[in-house]
Amino acid sequence: MSADGKVTKEEAQSSLGVAEKMQWAGFKRGMYPRWYGALVAVWSGVLVAALTSGSGLWLLLLAAGLIGHFVWYRKRGAMVNEIGSKRDLVMVLLLAVVGTGVAASGFVGLAYGLQWAPYAAGIALAGYIYGIMEVSYHDVWRRMREESN
């Protein structure tokens, strides 16, 4: 900005270019890789299977997963904001409802003598979470591309 507060067209274009470049830099730093989505899905499935089958391992799995995520997050030094709209918020709420439902079905199935129910619940949840993570991954990339156009 010049002393009289005027900004030329060239300055404005240059500023926009820099802003876009830096937004991409931040995004690339903070965006999780696709394998991370798969890992979260597998972890969630195993956790639910352990929890509903009555294995005491679930607490250990929960702690290991949370600590692992925390360490990974700190190591990366940045995290993309995935919740960019009301639709994303609905997705998160839906995930919580489906997750609780699937876990409950594992408990109920076991109560009815279906020994495989906890494992089926774990596989179902892992598949569902993997799907959500994939959708979210592509959604965030699409949002970034739209914003930079």
Partner 1 sequence: MKTSLDPVIHAPKRLEICAMLMPLIDAEFQVLRDELGVSDSVLSKHISRLEDAGYVKLRKSAVNGRQRTWARMTASGRKAFSSHVTALQQLIANANGTS
Q: Residues in the site for partner 1, rule: CB under 8 A?
A: 1, 7-9, 12-13, 15-16, 18-23, 25-27, 29-30, 74, 77-81, 144
Distance CA 51, CA 125 (A): 13
**Residue 13 parent element (H or E):** helix 9-30
In angstroms, the CA 47 to CA 59 distance is 8
C-beta closer to partner 1: residue 95 or 143: 143
Minimum distance between the CB of residue 89 and partner 1, rounded to whole angstroms?
Answer: 15
CB-nearer residue toward partner 1: 56 or 77: 77
Residue 90 belongs to what H/E stretch?
helix 86-111
State the nearest-atom distance from the C-beta of 82 to partner 1, in Å: 9
Query: Residue 79 or residue 108: which is nearer to partner 1 going by CB?
Result: 79
Give the number of C-alpha atoms closer than 13 A to the C-alpha of residue 96, restricted to the C-beta side: 5
